Structure 1
C-alpha cells in the first residue's frame, strides 16, 4: 500500500507542504514550469535550496509583483481581499487542471472559510481572505493539491501537529497561538505546543492537512522510497521544515479466532437458523463444510470467524443453537484489503459501491442487495441492472 507520512514536528504552512511534496517527484523543474504556465496574474514560482540547522531541503517561493509574501498570516490588511466566490471563479474558470484537483482546492478553501467565519462570528459569505485570498496562497494550495494528485498515495498519515506557542500580531490586534481559525480547523486532530515561540501552523497548513489526512498518528512500519524536506522561511532553534516520507506499507493484517464444531444430528434448517443467529451475534464469517463422521454418518463442520472480544458470546451461542458438545478455538492471522463503501447516484436511486484496495490491488463492486432490489422493482435480471448502472 502506497503510504505518505507527513512529519509536522514544526507545524505546517502551505509553502512548506508544497516544497516537501515537490521533493518526492522526479520531474520537479517540469512541475514548476507547468505551474508558471497557468498565467496566474503577476505570480512567479521558483524552487530554491534552503538549509535549516544543517539540513538541506527545498523552499517553494511564490512571488507576487516580484515580492514574496510573509507567511505570518496576519499582516495583510493592505491586500486586495477576495471572497470565496472570487476564488472559485479563478479555480474553476482559469486553471487548466483536472476537475478532481479543482474540487480539492475548493474543499480546502471551504475549511478555511468556515473556520474564519466561526472565529469572527460572521457568515461565510462575508469572509474576505486577508491571508488566503492573495495569489500566493491560491498558488500554494493549488501546488499541494496537484502534487497529491500526482503522487496518488493510498493513504496519508500525519503526525501530531506542533502548533507553536505565544502570541501573534494580526489586523485585529494580538492573538494567541495557534490562531482561532487554525484551532477551529484542527478540532479532532492531535496537536501540541512547546517552548518554540511563534505560529508554526497556519490556517492554510491546517486545512491542507485536515483535507488530505486519512488519519493522524505515529509513523507506521513502512519501507521508504522517497523523502522530501519542505523548508519554511523563518529560523527557529529547530529545523523549520515538514518532512514528507513516501513508502510501501504491507496491507492490513489482523488477528481473528476460528471457532469450530462438528455435528451429525441437525437438520439443514436447524443449521441454517444457527448460522443466522451467529451472524447476528457478531461473527465475521460463518460457513459449513460437509464431513464424514464416525459410524459412516455424513455431518457438517460449522466454522465461525470472530474477533477476540466477541468470542465468549459466540461460544455460548454455538452451544445454544447447535447440538455440539465441544467447540474448538484456533487463533489465526488474516491479510485483508482496506475497505470502504461509497454511495453512487443512479437513475434507479442510490446504490452502494464496495471498494477494496491494498497489496497492489484495487477493485470495486456493487452491493448485491441493492442490485437485487432494483432488479425486483424493474422486473429485470441482475445482469441488466449492472449494464444500466455501468452506463
Structure 2
C-alpha cells in the first residue's frame, strides 16, 4: 500500500499541501487542476502550478493566475495565498477575486454543483465540514450559520477542492504527519486579533503533536488543519518502506533561518503490511421515500470519516420492504457519523461492529479527458477507465476511448 508522510518543515496551508503533492505525483496534475477550475467562475482566474524557491530549496507553488495577466504579458500576476484567517493581504485584491457568499451551505452547493472527477466533491465537502464544525463550536452558532472567513477568496476554495481531488485520487493511502510548528503571536481576523494557533486550527488539531521551533507567525492555517484532520491519524507513526517519491510545496511567507515548505515523502509498503480496521454502521429504513433515501445516502457519503455507503433491499416484519444502509467508517469518527445518521434518516437505532479489511493500493488519474483507476495487484497493475467518463459518442467511439485510456502506461 502507499504511505504518505507530510513533513511540516515550515508549516502547512492548503496551497502548500496541493503544491507538494503535485510535485510528488505529477500525473495527478491534469485531474486536480481541472477540478479546481471547475469550482471557480471563469473570471476568477486559472489554477496553476509554478516553480519557485523558498530559502535555498526548490519548490512548487499553487497559485490562481489572474485572467488579465496574459493581456499585460506578465507572469507576476498570480494571486499569492494569504495564509491565515482573512489577513490583511486578502483585502488587497480586486472584487472579482472575492466570494459573494461564504456561508457553509453556499460552499457545499457550489462544490456539489461543479463538474468534478469521481470522489472529489465528497472529500472537499468533508474538509469544508471540518472547518464549519470548528467555527460553529467557537462562535456558538449552528453549522448552517457559519460564514467562512478562511474560505473568503476564490483561491482558498480552490485549495479545498484541489485537496479533495488529491484525496480521492489516492484513496486507500495511509497518511501521517510530523509534529506541527506552533508558531506564535497574533493573527488579524474578521473578529479582531486572535492568538496563534488560531482558535479553529487548535480545535481541529486537538490530539496532534506540536513543536516550538522559535519561529513566530501563523504556521498552520485552518484550511491546512482541516486537510490534515481529514486525512491523517493524530498519533500515527511515519511511514516505513521503500521511499518512492518526494515533493516540496512552498508557502508565500519568508521564514527566518528555514525554508517555508511542506515536504511529502511517499513510501511503497509491502501489500497489507499495516492492518486496516474499520467500523460498520448499519440500520434499516421502511418509512422514507426513494428520493429521501437517495438524498440521505449522498449526505452521509460526504460526512468526514465515512469511507463508503452501500444500500440494499430487505424484507421486514409483515412483509414490508426495507432499505438497508451499511456505512464503512473510520473508528475515530463513529460517534459523529452515528449522530449524522439520526439526523439524515428516520432510523431510531443502528448497529456497529469492527471489521478488518485488506485494501489494494490504488490511484485515480486522468488521460485524454477520461478518468482511469490504477490498482496495484499482486501480479501487476491494472488500469480501468471509469464508465461515467465514457458517456458521449457512439458505442464504437466509447470503446475506442476506453481502449486508448487503458492502454496508456501510467508508470
CA–CA distance in 2 between the matches of 1:357 and 1:46?
33
CA–CA distance in 1 between the matches of 2:36 and 2:217?
31
TM-score by length of structure 2 reads 0.61
> 2:38 aligns to what SS in structure 1?
coil
Residue 74 (structure 1) aligned with residue 86 (structure 2):
yes
Aligned equivalent of 1:158: 177
The partner residue of 2:199 within 180, 194, 207 is 180
Task: Give the Å deviation of 1:354.
Answer: 5.0
> 1:57 aligns to what SS in structure 2?
strand
The partner residue of 1:88 within 102, 108, 120 is 108
> 1:46 aligns to what SS in structure 2?
strand
Unaligned segments of structure 1, at least 5 residues: 254-335, 363-391
Q: 1:3 to 1:113 in 2, by over 3 A?
A: same
CA–CA distance in 2 between the matches of 1:33 and 1:173?
34
Q: 1:182 to 1:37 in 2, by over 3 A?
A: closer
Aligned equivalent of 1:342: 280
The partner residue of 1:230 within 220, 232, 249 is 249
Task: Give the Å deviation of 1:340.
Answer: 3.2
Q: 1:62 to 1:29 in 2, by over 3 A?
A: same
- Identify the structure with the greater strand proportion: 1
Q: 1 or 2 for the larger relative contact order (CA 8 Å, sep ≥6)?
A: 2
> 1:116 aligns to what SS in structure 2?
helix
Q: 1:240 to 1:226 in 2, by over 3 A?
A: same
Aligned equivalent of 1:357: 359
Q: 1:239 to 1:105 in 2, by over 3 A?
A: same
Q: Which region of structure 1 is more displaced relative to structure 2, 227-236 or 6-15?
A: 6-15
Write out per-residue CA displacement over residues 153-186 of structure 1, whole angstroms, 9 at most, x where no aligned residue. Answer: 5311112222311111222222110011111111
CA–CA distance in 2 between the matches of 1:3 and 1:140?
22
Task: Give the Å deviation of 1:28.
Answer: 6.1
Write out per-residue CA displacement over residues 201-225 of structure 1, whole angstroms, 9 at most, x where no aligned residue. Answer: 0000000000011454442322111
> 1:110 aligns to what SS in structure 2?
helix
The partner residue of 1:167 within 159, 168, 186 is 186
Write out per-residue CA displacement over residues 126-167 of structure 1, whole angstroms, 9 at most, x where no aligned residue. Answer: 211122143211111111121222234531111222231111
8 A Cα contact 2:59 2:250, kept in partner: yes
CA–CA distance in 2 between the matches of 1:146 and 1:29?
10
How many equivalent residue pairs?
A: 279
Alignment of 1:2-17 (within 5 A): 2-17=2-17
8 A Cα contact 2:123 2:164, kept in partner: yes
Aligned equivalent of 1:213: 232
Q: 1:39 to 1:124 in 2, by over 3 A?
A: closer
Q: 1:36 to 1:199 in 2, by over 3 A?
A: closer
8 A Cα contact 2:22 2:29, kept in partner: no
TM-score by length of structure 1 reads 0.64
Q: Which region of structure 1 is more displaced relative to structure 2, 4-13 or 19-28?
A: 19-28
Q: 1:354 to 1:85 in 2, by over 3 A?
A: same
8 A Cα contact 1:132 1:138, kept in partner: yes
CA–CA distance in 2 between the matches of 1:207 and 1:33?
20
8 A Cα contact 1:160 1:216, kept in partner: no
Task: Give the Å deviation of 1:47.
Answer: 1.3
Q: 1:57 to 1:40 in 2, by over 3 A?
A: same
CA–CA distance in 2 between the matches of 1:252 and 1:68?
41
8 A Cα contact 2:31 2:165, kept in partner: no
Aligned equivalent of 1:48: 50
Task: Give the Å deviation of 1:111.
Answer: 0.7
> 1:199 aligns to what SS in structure 2?
coil
CA–CA distance in 2 between the matches of 1:340 and 1:85?
29
> 1:23 aligns to what SS in structure 2?
helix
CA–CA distance in 1 between the matches of 2:108 and 2:80?
23
CA–CA distance in 2 between the matches of 1:190 and 1:36?
30
